[in-house]
Chains A and B, each alone.
Chain A
Amino acid sequence: MNAGHADFRADGSTANAGAKRGAQVNRLSGGLVNSAKVMNFTFDGKAFQGYEGDTLASALLANGVRLMGRSFKYHRPRGPLTAGSEEPNALVELRSGGRQEPNTRATVAELYEGMEANSQNRWPSLERDFMSINDRFSNFLTAGFYYKTFMWPAAFWEKVYEPIIRKAAGLGRLSMEDDPDAYDKGFLHCDLLIIGAGPAGLAAALTAGRVGAQVILAEEDFLLGGRLNAESFGLGDISGAAWIAQVCDELAALPNVRVMPRTTVVGAYDHGVYSAVERVADHVLAPEVGKPRQILWRIYSKRALLSAGATERPIAFENNDRPGIMLAGAMRAYVNRWAVTPAQTVAVFTNNDDGHRTAADLIAKGVKVTAVVDTRADAPKVEGVELFAGAQVIDTKGRLGLTSVRLRLASGITRDIPCGALAVSGGWNPNVHLTCHQRGRPAWREDIAAFVPAGELPPGMSVIGAANGDFSTAAALRTGAKGAVAALSDLGIAATVAELPQAEDAPVNLQAFWYVKEGKGRAWLDLQNDVTVKDVKLAHQENFRSVEHLKRYTTLGMATDQGKTSNMGGLAVMAELVGKQIPEVGTTMFRPPYTPVAMGTLAGRSVGEEFRPTRKTPSHKWAEEQGATFVEVGMWLRTQWFPRKGETHWRQSVDREVLQIRKSVGICDVTTLGKIDVQGPDAAEFLNHIYANAFGKLAVGKVRYGLMLREDGIAYDDGTAARLAEDHFVVTTTTANAVLVYRNMEFARQCLWPDLDVQVISTTEAWAQFAVAGPNARKLLQKIVDPEFDLSNEAFPFMGCGEVTVCGGLRARLFRISFSGELAFEIAVPTRYGDGLIRALMQAGEEFDVVPYGTEALGVMRIEKGHAAGNELNGTTSALNLGMARMVSKKKDCIGNTSSARAGMNQDDALMLVGLKPVNSTDPVAAGSHLMNAIGVVSAEADQGYITSAAYSPVLGCSIGLGLLKNGGNRKGEILRAVNPLEGREVEVEVVSAHFVDPEGERLRA
C-alpha cells in the first residue's frame, strides 16, 4: 500500500476499500438513507456498498473515499466540494458502453444497485495521474499563457502544439457509441409554476394548491424539502422530515397540484415558457424498454415563483482545493441527510454564523470537530469546540486528501490543526440564475454580501425564500406563502396565507471575506478550471478587467458549474484590484440551461429515422412489393427506380424505364406535386397576380403552364393551373415548394388583395395522381377511363383537363400535361384508391409492356426535354435566365414583374439556359461543372456559367446537360469546356438547344 493511497481515505485509514467491502467507515447513524436496502456499486473498478437514498458522493464518503476527481488543467486531486448540482470537482463517468455518461456529478447521481462509475481526466489512475505534472509547471501555465506562445514555427501549432493541448484538455470521455436510450418531450400548462420545493416552494404550493389553482411544483432533488433535509432543526414540534412528509401527503391529495421531483427547471423563455428536465430513469440501472431516460417538459405558466434556494460560496486560501475541503452547508447535508462524515476529525472555516451550525451538527453526530476558525474577531462561541476568532486558514496539507490545516491566529501566530476535512463557508449566493435568462441583472445586497434578483425579471416571475436573499426557514415559509398569494391575486384567484409552523429565524451574521491574502502559493477560485487568485491578478495587470474579459481570459466561471461556486470570488478579487465595489464591477450573464442538459433530452423522440416525419405516396406499398428503390424528396419518400431481375446497376434500370416510356408507355406516381385548390369569382384575377404569365383568359377545361416569381423578380416555382370551372382552378406546385406557394398565396389573398373573392386550400394529399406517359398512354388510359369519356386528341387535346370516372364509376380528374415530352396524361383519384389504381393501370398496361418509373427516369426525360426544375430554379435565376422572359406579362400587376426589370438582371451577358452536349459522345457531363471558353485560362474571372443538371440520355446515347451560360441565347454551336477541377475532369461540350428530344413538341401533341 503506497502512501498516496493512504491519503485518499480519510484519517489515514489504510484499508483497501475493495477488500473491505461493506465497510462504511464514515457512516453515521440516522439520516434519510435506508440502511435496510444495501446497494452495491463500483468506483474505478473497486466494489463498494451504500444505501438507498445515497448519492454516489455520499456513498463514497461513507466508504472513506474523498478523492473523486482531478481538476481540468493541473490535474490536482479533488474531492466533492458540494452536495448538489453545482459540484465542480467530483465528476465521474457513469455507466459504460453506449450509456457512458461523462462529467456526471457524483453529488447528485442517485445510487442504484449495480452502479458503475469511473473517475475521469486522469491517466493511468486517479491516485497516480501522469498529467499532474502540469501542476509542477503551473507557474508557466498561467492564465492566457497560450495566447503568447506556440506561434513559431507557424506550422507547429496545428501539427505539434495543438494536438498535445487538445489531448490533455477535456474532462470525461464519450464512448461515441449510439446512445441506446429513448427520450421524451411533453407540454404542461399551469397557473403557477413553483421552481424548487424547499420550505419556500412547499409553503407556496400549499397556499396555491389549497385554493384550487393549477400548480406545478418542480424539484431538482429526488426528495422534496430542500435545505430542510440537510438541517437538524425542526419545524414547530416536529422534525423537518416529518413536516415535509405532512406537506407531501397533502399535496399528493390535491388533484390540481403536480409535484415533479427529479425535475430541474433549466430555462426561462419568453412569455412564461419554461423548460424543465425530468430525470425519469437516471436512478436505475437502465430505463425500462420503451420508457424514456429523461423528459424535456415545456411548461406554459401564467405565473412562476422561483424558490431555487441559494448556493454556498467558498473562501479562497492557499491549497484550498484538497479532497476533504468542502462547503460547510454541504458537509451538514452529508452529516444530517446522508449520515456520513467526510472524515472522523473535522475543522470549520467561516465568515458567518451559518458555518457554526456545521460544527454543532457534527458534534451532535459524534464527529470530532478540532476547530472553528472564524474570520470575524467577534465571532460567537460554539459549544464544545475550540473557536479561533479573527483567524484564517492560510495553508493546508495532504497530497491526495486533507491531513491538516495551518491557521494564522488573530494573535499573529500560526498553528497547524490536524483534520481530514474542512468545512468552509463564505456565505450564500441566492440562485438568481433563472431571473437573468431574459434581461434581469441582479443587485447587490450588502447585508448578505450577495447579489439578489433585481431589474427586469422574466415577466410573471417572482422570487421567494433564499433565492431572494431571505435565508431563514421562517422567512422562506413566509415569503413562499405570500408570494403564492400575490401571484394568484394577479390571476384573479383569491388565496390566503396558509398557517405556517414555527421555524428557525436566525439573522444572517456575516462579514464579507473572499480570500486569504497571505501566502505565495495558489488559492483556487474556480476549482474545476484551476483559476486562482493569482490568475485574476494577472488578468488585471494585463488590462482584462471587465468581468467578461476576466472570464474569457482566465476561464473563470466557464467550467461545468458555470461559475456557481467561483464567480463571486473572482469578482471580489477583481473589485479589490480595481478599487471598486463588487456591484460596480458587475456580473457575467447567466444563460440557460441552469444545469447542463443532455442533448438526447433536447431532441426527444425526433431521432434516427424519426428525425422528421416521412411522407409516403399512395403507391408506396405497391412499389415496395416491386422492390423499388426509394429516395428522400423533401419529406417524401419517392420511388427512384424500379430495378428488375438481372439489373446490376441503377443506370440499367433507369435507361430501360426511359426507353420504354419513349417507345410505349410508363407510369409514375406524381402525387407529391403540390395541389392547391383555388376557387371563387376572382380566382382567375388572383392567379394573374400570382403567376408571371396571364391566366385570365384560360378556358374551362384547359391547363396552362405557369411561372411564379418572388417579388424580387427571381423565379421560385413553376407548375400548371387547370381550370375546372369558371371559378375553380387546381394549381400544381413543385414537390419542394408546395408549402411555400400556399403560404404566399394566403399572403397575397389576405394582405395584398384582401377583397378578392378567392378561397385557397391545399388538396395535395387528397388525390393520388399518376403520370401515364408514352406513345401508348392514351390507349392504356382508355382501358381505365370509363367509355363515355372521349380521350381522342380532338376531344381531349394537349393541355386539356376534365373530370372523368374510371374503373366503373370512380370520380377522377384527368389532365393532359407532359413533363416527359411524350404524349402524356396525369390522372388523379381519391388517395385511398391510389393503390388500386396503380395496380389497375399496370394490369391494363401489360399488353403495352408498361413500365413503372421513378424520379430518375423522370429527371432524365425532363433534361432531355429542357424543362427547368429545382436545379435551375435555384433561387438566383430570373425568367430571363430560364429563357422565359417573354412569359412575364407587362400588362398586369403580377408579383415580381416590376423588380425583374432591374438593370443588373437584364444585362447583355446574363446567364441563359442552354443545352450542352459532349463533343466526344463518350464523355460524361457532370452537373456542377463550370463553363469556360474553349481557349483561354481557367479561372473564376473567365467563368462563363455552370451546368445545372446532367444525365445520361439513353435516347441520344450520350450524357447531356442543362446549363446557365452567359449570353447563352446567342451561343448555340459554340464549343466550351466544362471544367470540374474538383474531380479532375474537363470535357468539351457544345452549346445546343435545351430541347434535346422532340424540339417541335410533336410527340406530346400526338
Chain B
Amino acid sequence: MRYSGLKVIKEALTGHNGWRPSWRNPEPKPQYDVVIIGGGGHGLATAYYLAKNHGITNIAVVEKGWIGGGNVGRNTTIVRSNYLLDGNGPFYEFSLKLWEGLEQDFNYNAMVSQRGILNLVHSDAQRDGARRRGNAMILNGSDAELLDAKGVRAMYPFLNFDSARFPIKGGLLHRRGGTVRHDAVAWGYARGADMRGVDIIQNCEVTGFRIENGKCLGVETSKGFIGASKVASCVAGSSSRVMGLAGMRLPIESHVLQAFVTEGLKPVLDGVITFGAGHFYCSQSDKGGLVFGGDIDGYNSYAQRGNLPVVEDVVEGGMALIPALGRVRVLRSWGGIMDMSMDGSPFIDKTHIDGLYFNGGWCYGGFKATPASGWCYAHLLATGQPHDVATAFRLDRFRHGRMIDEKGQGAQPNLH
C-alpha cells in the first residue's frame, strides 16, 4: 500500500477501513539467507537495503521485544554530518545524504527536518578546533559555517551572552543537520522491508548461536532454532551480551545515556544547539517539547535509567546556556544503553567466525548513522566487502593502532 495525502483523504472519507498492518507478524521459517539480530533502526535498515539494493529478501529480523524499542526509540533525534576524522566524515556525510531522500525512498514521512545544528565555541582553542572540523566537513562534501558571537546572537538572541560563566565566542553552524522523528524511522524501514518480503519477528530473543567448525549456521531463539547462511548482529547496547554468546569479547562497554523532554511549548527554538562549555544539547520537537541531553552517566550499566547528579549537571548546562528555560518543566527523563566503543567510533565488520557479522559500538551517535549503517552493513553482507565509506570500522583496528578517536580521549569509553 502506498501512502499519500490522497490516500489519507480517501480513507478519511471511507471510514479508515483500508489501512493495513504496517508489517506482518510472521512465524519464523526454518532457514533464511540472512538473519539479522535486532529490530532497531540499524537492523531494520539493513534488512531494507539488503532487499532493495541487493535483492536479498529471504531475511528475518529477530527482535527480543518490540521493533524500534532500542536506541532508535529513545534518542534525541539529531542527524548531522559534522565529523572530523577521515574514518568518519565520508560515512556520516553519506548517511545525511540518505536521510535527505529517505522519506520519498521508503514512502514514510519520518519528518526529516534540516533545521541546522549550531555547536557553540567558548574559547580560541575551541574556535581553532571548530575551524579544523568545519573545513574537514566541507572537504567531505558536508556544509559548515563559522559564526562569530554576533552571528550567534543574531540567530539565537536568548542565549546567555551577557552574564555567562563561559561567554559564547562563536559557533560552527551545520545547516543540513537537524532532527528526524525517530520512531518513524524504525517504522518506515520496517514497513519497507516487510513489503519486500522480509520477516520481522518480534518477541523473539536470541539465546545462542549454532557454530560448527568455525561457521555460524544460525541462531537459537526463544522461538526455536532459525538457520541462516549469514547471521548479522545489530543490537546496540547489548552487543557484548549477544556476541558473548558466540564467545567473542568486544572493545565495547555498555553505558547509560539519559535524555529529557519538557512539556510542550509554542515554538521557541528553531534549530539544534549544543553548548560548548558544558554538557547540553537541545532542540524542540514538532510537538513542542524541548528535547535535550548531555553526558552519559559514566559507569557501566545495563539498567535503562540514570541517576540524579547527571540530571542536575545536564540541566545546569541548559540553564547556563538559555536562562529563559528556568520555568520550563522537564516532563520525562529516560535512559538508554549505549555500546560505548574504545575510541568512540563504531564497527561494521565480519567476525572471525564464518558467516557471523557484527555491527555495533555506535556510542550515542547511532541514530544519525541509521541509513548509512544499514546500507553499508547490507553491502558487507551481500558482497563480503566493506562499503567504501565504512572501511575504517574494523574490529581489529586497535590491534594495529588505527583508532578513530574524534574526542581524543583514548581507551576510556565513558569519556567518548
Contacts and interface: CB of A to CB of B under 8 A. Distances in A.
B263 A103 contact: yes
Given A606-B319, A611-B164, A930-B136, A170 B287 contact: yes
Name the interface size band of chain A.
35 or more
A172 interface: yes
B245 interface: no
A100 to B, nearest CB: 7
Nearest to A950: B128
Contacts of B124: 631
Interface string A927-945: 1111000000011100100
Contact of A926 (B13, B131, B133): B131
B342 to A, nearest CB: 9
Given A560-B263, A981-B138, A543 B23 contact: yes
Interface stretch (A507-515, A750-758, A870-878): A870-878
A929 B13 CA distance: 59
Interface stretch (B51-59, B207-215, B398-406): B398-406
B288 interface: yes
Contacts of A713: 401
Interface in A888-937: 899, 902-906, 926-930
A148 interface: yes
A805 B139 CA distance: 57
Interface stretch (B27-35, B42-50, B310-318): B310-318
B188, B264, B287, B323: residue with the most chain A Cβ atoms closer than 10 Å = B264
A875 to B, nearest CB: 2
A875 B319 contact: no
B411 A548 contact: no
Contact of A269 (B73, B128, B132, B307): B307
A121 B266 CA distance: 8
A926 B124 CA distance: 12
A849 to B, nearest CB: 28
A591 B111 CA distance: 26
A813 B94 CA distance: 57
A273 B308 CA distance: 8
Contacts of A185: 312
Contacts of A170: 264-267, 287-288
A712 B403 contact: yes
A296 B312 contact: yes
A611 B128 contact: no
A940 B328 contact: no
A275 interface: yes
Q: Which of B90, B144, B327 has the most CB atoms of chain A within a 10 A radius of its CB? A: B327
B266 A173 contact: yes
A190 interface: no
A591 B103 contact: no
Interface stretch (A137-145, A243-251, A313-321, A568-576): A137-145
B146 interface: yes
A871 B125 contact: yes
A154 B138 contact: no
Interface string A159-174: 0001001110111111
A663 interface: no
B331 A167 contact: no
Interface in A239-271: 267, 269-270
Interface in A600-630: 600, 602-604, 606-612, 614
Nearest to B100: A154
A147 B288 contact: no
B331 A596 contact: yes
B227 interface: no
Given A171-B264, A871-B125, A275 B20 contact: no
Contacts of A101: 327
Contacts of A833: none
A150 B109 contact: yes
Contact of B128 (A599, A604, A928): A928
A938 B334 CA distance: 44
A166 B411 CA distance: 42
A995 interface: no
A3 B163 CA distance: 52
Contacts of A296: 312
Nearest to A597: B330
Given A599-B330, A904-B400, A940-B139, A608 B323 contact: yes
Contact of A982 (B112, B114, B134, B307): B134
B165 A982 contact: no
A899 B133 CA distance: 27
A615 to B, nearest CB: 12
B400 A596 contact: no
B22 interface: yes
Nearest to A546: B66
Contacts, number: 360
B: contact size bracket: 35 or more
Contacts of A128: none
A146 interface: yes
A980 interface: yes
Interface stretch (A74-82, A176-184, A327-335): A176-184
B283 to A, nearest CB: 12
B410 A946 contact: no
A589 B90 CA distance: 38
B153 to A, nearest CB: 14
Given A140-B9, A899-B401, A599 B262 contact: yes
Contact of B330 (A157, A546, A593, A939): A593
B151 interface: no
Given A171-B265, A904-B402, A928-B134, A151 B103 contact: yes
A100 B145 CA distance: 35
A597 B139 contact: no
A600 B164 contact: no
Interface string B158-201: 10100111110000000000000101100110000000000000
A157 B308 contact: no
B89 interface: yes
B129 interface: yes
Interface string B94-117: 000000010110011111111100
A172 B66 CA distance: 34
B387 interface: no
Interface in A283-331: 296, 298
Contacts of B222: none
B39 to A, nearest CB: 11
B385 interface: no
B135 interface: yes
A983 interface: yes
Given A148-B109, A609-B163, A982-B135, A940 B86 contact: yes
A158 interface: yes
Contacts of B298: none
A606 B316 CA distance: 6
Contact of A875 (B125, B399, B408): B408
Interface of A: 72, 98-103, 121, 139-140, 142, 145-152, 154, 157-158, 162, 165-167, 169-179, 181, 183, 185, 267, 269-270, 273, 275, 296, 298, 437-439, 534, 538, 541-544, 546, 548-549, 552-553, 555, 558, 560, 562, 589, 591-593, 596-600, 602-604, 606-612, 614, 631-633, 710-714, 716, 870-871, 874-876, 899, 902-906, 926-930, 938-940, 943, 946-950, 979-983
5 contacts: A176-B158, A606-B312, A611-B320, A632-B122, A930-B135
Interface of B: 3-5, 7-9, 12-13, 16, 19-25, 65-66, 68-69, 73, 86, 89-90, 101, 103-104, 107-115, 122-125, 127-136, 138-140, 144-146, 158, 160, 163-167, 181, 183-184, 187-188, 202, 262-268, 277-278, 286-288, 303, 305, 307-308, 311-312, 315-316, 318-320, 323-334, 397, 399-403, 405, 407-411
Given A162-B286, A169-B286, A597-B329, 9 more contacts: A103-B263, A139-B12, A149-B109, A598-B326, A603-B326, A608-B164, A633-B123, A929-B135, A983-B146
**Nearest 10 CB-CB pairs, A to B?**
A875-B408, A928-B131, A179-B326, A170-B288, A902-B401, A600-B326, A596-B329, A904-B401, A543-B21, A148-B3
